[in-house]
Amino acid sequence: MIDRSAGLDRAHALAREWLDSLAERPVPPRLDSDGVAARLVRELPDGPTDTAAVVDELAAACDPGLTAMPGGRFFGFVIGGTHPAALAVDWLVSAWDQNTGLRVVTPAHSAVEDLTEAWLLDLLGLPAASAVGFVTGGTMANFTCLAAARDEVLRRAGWDVANQGLLGSPGVRVLVGAERHDTIDLALRYLGLGAPEAVAADEQGRIEAAALAAALEAGDGRPTIVCLQAGNVHSGAFDPFEETIAAAHDAGAWVHIDGAFGLFAAASPGRRHLTAGYEAADSWATDAHKTLNVPYDCGLAIVRDRAALRAAMGMHGDYLIFDAAGEPMDKVPEISRRGRAFPVWAVLRALGRDGVAALVDGYCAHARAFADGIAAIDGAEVLNDVVFTQVCAAFGDDDATRAVVDAMLADGTAWTTGSRWRGRAVLRVSVTNWSTTTADVEAALDALGRAAAR
């Protein structure tokens, strides 16, 4: 008999040790992947090893190779933390091990998924009848929404992708902002749509409404998809939704919005203006593992036309046969999948409407403090209007900025990311973790001051 408890008890103790270490440990890992590999048993063992020993061995080997991503001083990329309620429930998800594709097999998850879908649409101010597919992340959320978009715009042109494929079809024209996230291009590639047409963006990275209108005007008759953005990874800026969506709809286009981290601005009364008019779009992609702080991996593919999503993703989803309840697997690319709605429900249940708003507002306040602190550093310059959670800064010329990025990594107090934006080397700060405190921001600013002074 294999003892289940010993391994779980060790995992519990080790998880708590890890979480407790976050406040003090340096953010970057101490070892690279070769270094960690050297700590692992190389040969595939012939025989069994006790579960608790396996857990201990892995944790001991990996600890120096772990990055303090869930900690309050990780400001790189756009990386969410993990809310305690979501983490606790995520453990149950693994223990319960439900394959949540079908309603009758896992009624518990289906009930929670339906409820969470309704809560999310309410919280985000999106049409209440929309479908929410629980996918692995923003990339797959973009893919899932754009699959529904592709099939629907071609269907309206009299072409059935499911039966006829893409060869010989009228084709699809895809218009995107010059500063869309690269995963839009990736999703379009997966979908056989090729590279999109880029429309000019302004100095904050927002698509220019006039340029989009002109591009739509110059249409060649092909069915069209327009991809907008809620939250630019460098500036945090939001596209002007009202005018762009109206123009796109006038031209008969499907409008998709990539709001991987920005969609939750709509959950805060103080930030909601950034998303004004976005509810008129046809689909919205977001991550639960970023702003909402559930563990990886969880993204949300939201589509206004449930039937279109089901036609694209369902195994038996004839477009005209529409059962209001539907199957969870009809909204996502996977058949088998874990109970992804459980941790999303948990964080919404734990925070409530006001708590989610406070979470978002807290990120924004910290980002504001970062911008003010950076502006006060000699030679530093904040490059974006800080409207949300992102701060983009330069510390002189490109070499000087890169040196600050490197010095920050070497220092280890906080993690920030180097990038290029609008032709310049930049240092980027993203605040996306519930546990970040004012003291964390101050410590990171002190480190930035030290790095810049070198």
Ligand X SMILES: *Cc1c(COP(=O)(O)O)cnc(C)c1O
Q: Which residues sit at the interface with ligand X, rule CB under 6 A?
A: 78, 137-139, 181, 183, 231, 233, 258, 260-261, 287, 299
Give me the least distance between CB of 196 and ligand X, in Å please.
14
CB of 142 or CB of 401, closer to ligand X: 142
Give me the least distance between CB of 77 and ligand X, in Å please.
7
284: enclosing H helix or E strand: strand 283-287
CB of 141 or CB of 356, closer to ligand X: 141
CB of 79 or CB of 359, closer to ligand X: 79
CB of 187 or CB of 425, closer to ligand X: 187
**In contact, 258 and 228? CB cutoff 8 Å:** yes
Q: What are the angstrom distances between the C-alpha of 358 and each of 113, 241, 271, 291, 371?
A: 24, 24, 11, 12, 20
175: enclosing H helix or E strand: strand 173-177
d(CA 398, CA 394): 8
Give me the least distance between CB of 261 and ligand X, in Å please.
5
Give me the least distance between CB of 137 and ligand X, in Å please.
3
Side-chain half-sphere exposure of 36, counting CA atoms within 13 A = 16
Give me the least distance between CB of 414 and ligand X, in Å please.
20
CB of 173 or CB of 428, closer to ligand X: 428
Give me the least distance between CB of 290 and ligand X, in Å please.
6
Phi, psi (rounded to 5 degrees) for 326:
60, 175
Give the position of tokens 């546990």.
435
CB of 91 or CB of 296, closer to ligand X: 296
Nearest residue to ligand X, by Cβ distance, number only: 138
257: enclosing H helix or E strand: strand 254-258
Give me the least distance between CB of 153 and ligand X, in Å please.
21
d(CA 352, CA 329): 27
Give me the least distance between CB of 233 and ligand X, in Å please.
5
405: enclosing H helix or E strand: helix 398-411
Q: What are the angstrom distances between the C-alpha of 69 and each of 293, 299, 300, 379, 446?
A: 12, 18, 22, 29, 20
**Rg of the chain on CA atoms, in Å:** 23
d(CA 99, CA 109): 9
**In contact, 239 and 229? CB cutoff 8 Å:** yes
**Residue 178 burial (CB count, 10 A):** 14
Give me the least distance between CB of 119 and ligand X, in Å please.
21
CB of 208 or CB of 258, closer to ligand X: 258
CB of 176 or CB of 380, closer to ligand X: 176
Give me the least distance between CB of 345 and ligand X, in Å please.
19
Give me the least distance between CB of 403 and ligand X, in Å please.
26
List b or e across 206-228, with b for residues whose CB sees 16 or more CB atoms inside 10 angstroms: bbbbebbbebbeeeeeebbbbbb
CB of 290 or CB of 304, closer to ligand X: 290
CB of 78 or CB of 248, closer to ligand X: 78
Burial class (CB in 10 A: 0-12, 13-18, 19+), 335: exposed
CB of 205 or CB of 317, closer to ligand X: 205
List b or e across 257-287, with b for residues whose CB sees 16 or more CB atoms inside 10 angstroms: bbbbbbbbbbbbeebbebbeebbbbbbbbbb
Q: Write the DSSP symbol of residue 415.
A: B
Q: Write the DSSP symbol of residue 48.
A: -
